[in-house]
Amino acid sequence: MRVSWDSLHEAIGACDLCPLCREIHHKVPGQGNPDARLMLIGEGPGCEEDRSGLAFVGPAGQLLTKMLQSIGLSREEVYICNIVKCRPPRNRVPEPEEAAACLPYLRMQVALVRPRIILLLGATAGRYTLGENFRVTRDRGRFVQKSGIWFMPTYHPSALLRDETGQKKREAWQDLKQVRDKLTELG
């Protein structure tokens, strides 16, 4: 089957491969520039995202928009999605079988966008793209090249909203500057 945006959205819309789809308002496939040089991957939709069907529109999404602006990018220039396309109950971390059900969709998104860089937002995004041994506090801030794509893991914006000391915010800013510089270097 030839992958297209239409076939991908149709497949996500019809998906019932895990129980997450049973108690949601909307599936949240992702959105943005289909030819983006930078793709962002988070964990899964939250309450606001479930209501709207759009990724990163709640408080964490508003912070993410500001983070992108800080390196000279708008949301319209990037592609934003999540590991799972349906909201886990009470915003819990997706179970391995839930993530496994959605990972083929994520792979299709990466194949369609063909980004130069993928910014991994948080531990769940890092674990399902870079491997089970990934730890965000240990591995963030270092580029990893895989299949011709540069991956930069950093903290999820929701973790930054809870960061009372400001340490994670400072580290995330360093990560974003590296992404900005790598985008410039790649042309």
Q: Give the residue extent of every domain in the chain.
A: 26-186
> Alpha helices of 80-156 — where are they, by DSSP H?
96-113, 123-130, 136-139
Strands 79-82 and 38-42: parallel
Task: Calculate the average pLDDT of the chain.
Answer: 96
Q: Starting from the edge strand earliest in sequence, which strands make up the sheet with 31-32, in order?
A: 31-32, 79-82, 38-42, 117-121, 149-154, 144-146
At 154-172, the pLDDT tens digits run 999 999 999 999 999 999 9
CATH of 26-186, one of 2.60.40.2130, 3.50.50.60, 3.40.470.10, 3.30.56.10: 3.40.470.10
Question: What does the alpha-carbon distance between residue 88 and residue 19 come to, in Å, rounded to a whole number?
Answer: 9
CB 52 within 8 A of CB 46: no
Beta strands in 49-162 (DSSP E): 79-82, 117-121, 144-146, 149-154
Eight-state DSSP code of residue 4: -
- pTM comes to 0.97
Question: What does the alpha-carbon distance between residue 143 and residue 117 come to, in Å, rounded to a whole number?
Answer: 9
Q: What is the pLDDT of residue 154?
A: 98
Task: Count Cα neighbours of 175 within 13 Å in the Cβ-side half-sphere.
Answer: 30
Residue 46 in tokens: 């939250």
Token pair 């396309």 is at which residue? 85
Eight-state DSSP code of residue 76: G
Phi/psi for 140 (5° steps) reads: -65, 155
SS3 of 39, please? strand
At 90-140, the pLDDT tens digits run 999 999 999 999 999 999 999 999 999 999 999 999 999 999 999 999 999
At 19-42, the pLDDT tens digits run 999 999 999 999 999 999 999 999
Q: What is the pLDDT of residue 1?
A: 55
